[in-house]
Structure 1
């Protein structure tokens, strides 16, 4: 039984345009494969970068926690100093300010 447009035998597929469509589909499939491969590599790179950034954030979090503990201990000492006599407090504050200015001068001079 003959179907419309197909003719008889395999040689008539070319005449019907079947082969041209098949080649075009193959070409489009190759293009899609390349795009999917590029997206796969991009998503893998993004995943690697996210893991690295999460590791860095965890390290920063632990650094901030240790710094917070140091600062709270320092504030506790300042509060303890403020309970003492005013002469001691003034002396300690003056020494602290002098230390800060020396450190700032040193950083500015090196920079």
Structure 2
């Protein structure tokens, strides 16, 4: 396979998207967020925590600094399916997040 074919395959990939839940086991605090690529969001979140760059969530950053990554649990609550002829899923993701907030009433919203 040449570079052009590999690039084409990469661009056609559709990573899982939807609503995720991050739980801080040391405080039992829950964080709800949306993602158009769960793995990229998780990687970004844990990297930013590891370098102290999540200052807009001080309690989460403090917990991470004290206890490390093992206290955090990242889970997918709901995946959103891709649809033909739809390129912008922001409204759908926000609607899904709103639904999840009803069942996770104590969760804070997190934007990564």
TM-score normalized with structure 1 length: 0.22
Structure with max Cα Rg: 1
TM-score normalized with structure 2 length: 0.22
Query: Greater RCO between the two (CA within 8 Å, min separation 6)?
Result: 2
